[in-house]
């Protein structure tokens, strides 16, 4: 038994060294000039792993497509995605590791908290940070080289209230949100602030946390008793599908459910498509949209990931890579001419227009993107453009 | 008043699930004297095994249920053999930490195999709901309550009346003395784990039927709540686990409905603290005088 332990320790040690050599992650050797290293950080394990994996998977599809088509101005993209488990400190450490490994463009973080930490840590590096999905209002604060693909939370909350106000939708609204994530509470806050101006009466506010996201019967009862005609639910599709399956049959048939980009992918996630009848989505990305680039992306994603339907996060990851490609091309950065890489690519960000799967995007110097959300409604398991 | 009854029913529904999970916790603790923190994750594995059996292997629901129970029982025995048995003589803290490790191991394995997004649980049980006046009680809630009560009675009889049960009590009382009397401690503890994990599989079926969606972290929070329920009712006591689970579910839903949906966990755990201060052995726990 003692020998066995010794041998297995030895074996492990050999394995570790071998894996170091094979993966060449032990550093030291310089990367080739014609490789564009894009570094991502996000939760690949732990409670938020689905978001990190979605972004990574979406970005990988774009990288594969671009590399297969010959790369960008002679560069081949290498995506290096590190796990943060959703912890900001680990995210900064992962960012540092990526910088040591010659990262040239950063995808920031996946979640808002970790992105804010990376954005602050990267302040003096000058590197372009393009976060696919960190939507908290202040996630980009204090760094001129930080941009995002998604909407900010407040801009989405405001758009939702304005849309409801401007269109013929019920004005007695219940709110159902998750109060321990920035995304959901940020959206709710912005919605609440602009509700009055749009003639919206919030009749009841119900919430949950990530520890209490399986049983929504008490919240459903409260909404039933409130007389609400529409439920504003700025939450993610996983929790929404749980909510909708428990709510099935509890509300009047014409009850409307109004969600934002977090709800995208809901049709593929509910156990029974009848659950998501009358769900309205204010979203820049809908996997069900007919646009050619969207369908191309959805098909590629399904093929690569066991028929899984890409969600908002995957779409954001995909668009981030194409935005980097556009900026590289705009700045005319080539393998031979890559001096002042950072300042040139950052400057190009405000000049590009990207027709991505999450809409037609341009960027402001503040890092915010300008794109139009569309509103879809789900009828009989199919999302269609909503005509108020 | 309607709100009161609706809350009571949803409390019963949640509580019966907690009770079912707590039975497994308390069974293993009562005999092996260890907290198997991986119990919640065995439930998650049980639910995934039903999903695989029904959706991918197209088994009929009844067969899938039995496959899942057998699979979990086997998994429990394997976990015990690989992770806990080598630590039989180690301090209980080491075993506790190992159990937490096993819990994370199972979660991450599930994440690797099934991905991180939630999957829906097939509708393998469909029972008509019962309507009392304006109150509707779902058939699954009633079935969970009935099954939990039956399991509680069968387990109590099993431990008190059968030979294996007697061996279990002997091992729980004093491992070395039991060995001297010709009882195989290892086999008895293996059997305990097999039963505990089979109960987890049963819990997973009712959990899936009630809450529809399963993800790799599904087991952890109900696991902790059920552990709380077991302590609340008196850990090691089988009727205590049932009582604790149901009370915990009802307290949780009432604090959600009448106080705050976000404070409900704080209230649940505050009640636990108060009970333990007043009655350290839990509601139905036996007072044990330690010999020093």
Residue A69 pLDDT grade (very low, low, confident, very high; cuts 50, 70, 90)? very high
pLDDT cut 70: percent of chain B above it: 98
Nearest CA in chain A to B119: A269
Closest approach of chain B CAs to the CA of A215, in angstroms?
Answer: 7
Inside any domain, residue A9: no
What average pLDDT score do residues B59-79 get? 95
Nearest CA in chain B to A50: B116
Inside any domain, residue B10: no
Whether residue A341 sits in one domain with residue A233: no
What average pLDDT score do residues B94-100 get? 92
Q: What is the pTM of this model?
A: 0.77
Cα dihedral sign for B279, B285, B286, B290? Answer: negative
Mean pLDDT rounded to a whole number for chain B: 89
Whether residue A229 sits in one domain with residue A117: no
Interhelix angle B39-51/B2-32, rounded to 10 degrees, is 110
Q: Report CA-CA distances (Å) from A146 to A28, A80, A228, A366.
A: 28, 19, 40, 8
Residue A26 pLDDT greater than 50, yes or no? no
Cα dihedral sign for B281, B286, B287, B288? Answer: negative
Contact check, Cβ <8 Å, A238/B262: no
Buried b (16+ CB within 10 A) or exposed e, A248-258: beebeeebbbb
The DSSP annotation for A202-231 comes to EEEEEEE-GGG-S--HHHHHHHHTTT-SEE
pLDDT of residue A82: 95
Write out pLDDT tens, residues A91-144.
999 999 999 999 999 999 999 989 999 999 999 899 999 999 999 998 999 899
Say whether A134 sits in a helix, a strand or coil: coil
Kindly give the pairing relationship between strand A172-178 and strand A382-385: unpaired
Closest approach of chain B CAs to the CA of A248, in angstroms?
Answer: 12
CB-closest option in A206, A242, A306 to B213: A242
**Lookup result for tokens 């204090």:** A142
pLDDT cut 90: percent of chain B above it: 52
Inside any domain, residue A121: yes
Write out pLDDT tens, residues B112-158.
898 877 888 988 888 888 888 777 888 888 999 999 999 999 999 99
Inside any domain, residue A69: yes
Q: Which B residues in the span 28-87 are in contact with A, Cβ-Cβ below 8 Å?
A: none
Answer whether A264 touches B (CB < 8 Å): no
Contact check, Cβ <8 Å, B7/A271: no
Separation of alpha carbons B213 and B123, rounded Å: 11
pLDDT of residue A28: 45
pLDDT of residue A27: 44
Separation of alpha carbons A359 and B175, rounded Å: 68
Residue A24 pLDDT grade (very low, low, confident, very high; cuts 50, 70, 90)? very low
Structure-model confidence comparison of residues B236 and B251, the more confident one: B251
Q: Report CA-CA distances (Å) from A111 to A303, B36, B69, B84, B93.
A: 26, 33, 38, 37, 35
Inside any domain, residue A44: yes
Q: Which B residues in the span 105-134 are in contact with A, Cβ-Cβ below 8 Å?
A: 108, 111, 115-118, 120-121, 123
Whether residue A48 sits in one domain with residue A141: yes
- In SS3 terms, A257-298 reads as EEECHHHCCHHHHCCCHHHHCCEEEEECCCCCCCCHHHHHHH
Buried b (16+ CB within 10 A) or exposed e, A79-93: bbbbbbbbbbebbbb
Q: Residue B231 corresponds to which tokens in the numbers above?
A: 């302590």
Domain holding B83, by residue range, is 15-123+131-223
Domain holding A217, by residue range, is 154-283
Separation of alpha carbons A86 and A298, rounded Å: 26
Task: State how many domains chain A has.
Answer: 2
Last residue of a domain, one of A260, A283, A306: A283
pLDDT cut 90: percent of chain A above it: 60
Nearest CA in chain A to B115: A50
Inside any domain, residue A274: yes
CB-closest option in A49, A225, A306 to B111: A49
Kindly give the pairing relationship between strand A146-148 and strand A172-178: unpaired
**Lookup result for tokens 């049960």:** B165
**Closest to B201 in 3D by CA, of B53, B69, B48:** B69
Q: Which residues of A touch B257 (CB under 8 A)?
A: 218, 221-222
Q: Which residues of A touch B264 (CB under 8 A)?
A: 212
Separation of alpha carbons B130 and A379, rounded Å: 30
**Closest to A317 in 3D by CA, of A106, A14, A54, A28:** A54
pLDDT cut 70: percent of chain A above it: 92
Whether residue A323 sits in one domain with residue A214: no
Residue B259 pLDDT greater than 60, yes or no? yes
Residue A9 pLDDT greater than 80, yes or no? no
How would you class A192 by CB atoms within 10 Å of its CB: exposed for 0-12, middle for 13-18, buried for 19 or more?
middle
Residue B235 pLDDT grade (very low, low, confident, very high; cuts 50, 70, 90)? confident
pLDDT of residue A199: 93
Q: Which residues of B touch A222 (CB under 8 A)?
A: 257
Whether residue A346 sits in one domain with residue A232: no
Structure-model confidence comparison of residues B103 and A182, the more confident one: B103
Residue A385 pLDDT grade (very low, low, confident, very high; cuts 50, 70, 90)? confident
Interhelix angle A341-349/A312-330, rounded to 10 degrees, is 120
Neighbours of B202 (CB within 10 A): 23
Report the range of poorest mean pLDDT among A14-28, A147-161, B210-224: A14-28
Residue A146 pLDDT greater than 70, yes or no? yes
pLDDT of residue B125: 82
Task: State how many domains chain B has.
Answer: 1
pLDDT of residue A367: 93
Residue A250 sits in a domain whose CATH number is 3.40.50.2300
Neighbours of A339 (CB within 10 A): 8
CB-closest option in A45, A218, A238 to B118: A238
ipTM metric: 0.78
Residue A74 pLDDT greater than 60, yes or no? yes
Separation of alpha carbons B240 and A139, rounded Å: 49
Contact check, Cβ <8 Å, A241/B111: no
Residue A18 pLDDT greater than 70, yes or no? no
Phi first, then psi: what are they for A236, rounded to 5°?
-90, 160
Answer whether B14 touches A (CB < 8 Å): yes
Separation of alpha carbons A39 and A100, rounded Å: 11
The residues with which A384 forms a beta bridge, in sequence order, are: A377
pLDDT of residue B38: 93
Residue A331 pLDDT greater than 70, yes or no? yes
Residue A23 pLDDT greater than 80, yes or no? no
Contact check, Cβ <8 Å, A271/B212: yes
């Amino acid at each position: 038994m003692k020998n066995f332990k010794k041998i297995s320790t030895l074996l492990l040690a050999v394995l570790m060294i071998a894996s170091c050599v094979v993966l060449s992650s032990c550093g030291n050797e310089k990367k080739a000039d014609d490789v564009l290293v894009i570094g991502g950080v996000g939760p690949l394990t732990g409670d938020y792993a689905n978001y990190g994996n979605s972004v990574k998977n979406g970005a990988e599809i774009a990288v594969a497509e671009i590399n297969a088509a010959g790369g960008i101005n002679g560069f081949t993209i290498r995506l290096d995605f590190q796990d943060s488990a959703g912890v900001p400190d680990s995210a900064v450490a992962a960012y540092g590791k990526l910088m040591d490994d010659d990262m040239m463009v950063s995808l920031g973080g996946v979640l808002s908290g970790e992105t804010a930490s990376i954005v602050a840590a990267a302040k003096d590096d000058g590197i372009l940070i393009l976060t696919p999905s960190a939507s908290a209002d202040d996630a980009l604060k204090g760094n001129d080289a930080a941009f995002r693909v998604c909407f900010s939370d407040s801009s989405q909350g405001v758009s939702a209230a304005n849309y409801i106000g401007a269109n013929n939708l019920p004005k007695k609204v219940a709110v159902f949100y998750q109060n321990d994530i920035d995304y959901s509470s940020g959206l709710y806050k912005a919605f609440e602030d602009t509700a009055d101006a749009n003639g919206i009466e919030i009749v009841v506010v119900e919430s949950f946390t990530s520890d209490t996201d399986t049983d929504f019967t008490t919240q459903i009862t409260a909404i039933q008793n409130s007389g609400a005609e529409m439920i504003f639910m700025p939450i993610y599709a996983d929790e929404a599908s749980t909510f909708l399956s428990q709510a099935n049959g509890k509300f009047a048939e014409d009850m409307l459910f109004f969600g934002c980009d977090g709800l995208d992918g809901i049709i593929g996630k509910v156990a029974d498509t009848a659950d998501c009848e009358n769900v309205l989505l204010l979203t820049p990305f809908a996997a069900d949209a007919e646009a050619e680039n969207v369908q191309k992306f959805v098909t590629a994603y399904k093929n690569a990931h066991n028929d899984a339907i890409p969600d908002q996060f995957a779409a954001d990851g995909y668009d981030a890579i194409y935005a980097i490609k556009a900026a590289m091309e705009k700045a005319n950065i080539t393998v031979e001419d890559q001096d002042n890489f950072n300042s040139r690519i950052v400057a190009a960000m405000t000049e590009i227009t990207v027709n991505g799967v999450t809409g037609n995007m341009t960027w402001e110097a503040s890092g915010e993107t300008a794109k139009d959300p569309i509103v879809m409604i789900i009828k009989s398991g199919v999302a269609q453009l909503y005509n108020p | 008043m309607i709100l009161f009854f609706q809350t009571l029913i949803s409390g019963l529904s949640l509580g019966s699930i907690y009770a079912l999970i707590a039975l497994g916790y308390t069974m293993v603790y009562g005999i092996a004297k260890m907290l198997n923190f991986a119990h919640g994750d065995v439930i998650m594995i049980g639910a995934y095994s039903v999903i695989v059996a029904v959706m991918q292997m197209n088994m009929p629901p009844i067969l899938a249920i039995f496959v899942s129970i057998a699979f979990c029982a086997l998994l429990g025995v394997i976990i015990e053999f690989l992770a806990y048995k080598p630590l039989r003589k180690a301090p209980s803290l080491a075993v506790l930490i190992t159990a937490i490790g096993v819990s994370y191991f199972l979660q991450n394995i599930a994440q690797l195999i099934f991905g991180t997004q939630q999957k829906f649980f097939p509708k393998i049980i469909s029972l008509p709901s019962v309507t009392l006046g304006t109150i509707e009680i779902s058939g699954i809630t009633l079935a969970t309550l009935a099954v939990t009560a039956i399991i509680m009675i069968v387990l109590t009889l099993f431990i008190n009346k059968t030979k294996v049960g007697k061996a279990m009590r002997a091992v729980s009382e004093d491992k070395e003395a039991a060995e001297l009397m010709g009882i195989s401690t290892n086999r008895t503890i293996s059997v305990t784990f097999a039963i505990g994990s089979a109960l987890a599989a049963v819990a997973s079926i009712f959990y899936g039927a009630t809450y529809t969606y399963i993800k790799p972290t599904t087991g952890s929070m109900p696991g902790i709540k059920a552990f709380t329920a077991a302590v609340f009712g008196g850990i090691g006591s089988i009727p205590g686990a049932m009582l604790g689970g149901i009370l915990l579910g009802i307290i949780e839903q009432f604090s959600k409905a009448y106080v705050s949906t976000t404070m409900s966990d704080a209230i649940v755990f505050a009640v636990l603290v108060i009970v333990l201060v007043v009655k350290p052995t839990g509601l139905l726990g036996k007072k044990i005088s330690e010999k020093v």
